[in-house]
């Protein structure tokens, strides 16, 4: 595995380290994952694409005539 040296503003790196810690990861892992996706060699499926695929396969819809209720009707008390 190759090493990479980056020049990054001290405050930016500090904030990135804090955010990575909050997510239980490291800045190194975040950069590596970003570069993997950026280069187009991400082995992991895109979670958003997977979500939409599940929705498309569900067959759920608002029916042939579309939505037949209004927002006001839904919130009528």
> pTM for the complete prediction?
0.52
Q: Where are the alpha helices (DSSP H) in the chain?
A: 10-22, 27-38, 47-58, 71-74
Which residues make Cβ contacts (< 8 Å) with residue 16, sequence separation at least 6? 8, 27, 30
Measured CA to CA, the distance from residue 40 to residue 43 in angstroms comes to 9
Mind listing the pLDDT tens digit for each residue in 37-56? 888 865 667 778 888 888 77
Mind listing the pLDDT tens digit for each residue in 4-47? 899 999 999 999 999 999 999 999 999 998 888 888 865 667 77
């Amino acid at each position: 595995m190759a090493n990479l040296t980056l020049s990054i503003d001290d405050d930016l790196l500090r904030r990135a380290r804090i955010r990575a810690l909050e997510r239980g990861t490291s800045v190194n892992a975040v950069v590596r994952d970003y570069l993997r996706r950026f280069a187009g060699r991400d082995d992991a499926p895109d979670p958003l694409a997977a979500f939409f695929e599940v929705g498309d396969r569900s067959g759920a819809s608002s029916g042939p005539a579309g939505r037949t209720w209004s927002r006001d009707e839904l919130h009528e008390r």
